[in-house]
Structure 1
Amino acid sequence: MKKYYLLLVLLSAVLTGCTSFQNKVVEPKSEQRLDINSISFLISKRITENWNKPQSSSQSLQVKIQVKTKKDGSLVNAKVVESSGNEMFDRSALEALSRVFPLEELTKLKSEEYEKNFKKFKLFFKSV
């Protein structure tokens, strides 16, 4: 079966320096892939809408955050696993992420697809 790499690379993410999912390997059926991609897009969109990046120096910053959710769409926790070195930047990313949830769309996924793709995942937030 052909493997698909779910790398959330959206024009809005590139333009705003928002997020990307880290190397999620997915082997979905076509209708499930649409659901997974739609939810990934929705997460990115909500982060973009809610992220108030702090004014920082001209340096490029990146923070890696591990996210855990429940099948009901709620956020269990989000923690920094690789800091940008700038506490305000890291905190702003965590605050934006907390505004994304609850995410009702997670309840519509089959349990195995939720477990594989959204129960635990990592996001990158980039300043540029």
Structure 2
Amino acid sequence: MTSLQGMRVLVVENDELNAMLLQMQLEGEGMRVEGIAPTVAEALEMIQAHEPQLVFLDYWLARNENSTSVAALLQHRGIPFLVATGMDTSQLPEVFNAGIKLAKPYTSKDLIHALKQALAVA
């Protein structure tokens, strides 16, 4: 498995509390959170600006958007990602097969394992 230390990560999550908790977890593992994007437009902009090495996607975002177009861009650019969702992961659009799927609720151990898996697949 790959080390997370110093890895530049972007968080795409619209729930402020979840985003804050996730940021604390990631930074606790030595990762550098380059930004938190609550919408598709902000996520696409931040990917361009920060060129993250890894992206954490929540499937459902603000404004009743989902992160499918973000996943498509990440797949196209070869940027590893994982997607977290409370829905059945088999129901996610096909583009998410390029990343790692994480079912909510998940533990910190599950999150770290999924992040390392996403990097190993890339």
The TM-score with structure 1 as length reference comes to 0.23
Relative to total residues, which structure has the larger helix share, 1 or 2? 2
Higher radius of gyration, 1 or 2 = 1
TM-score by length of 2: 0.24
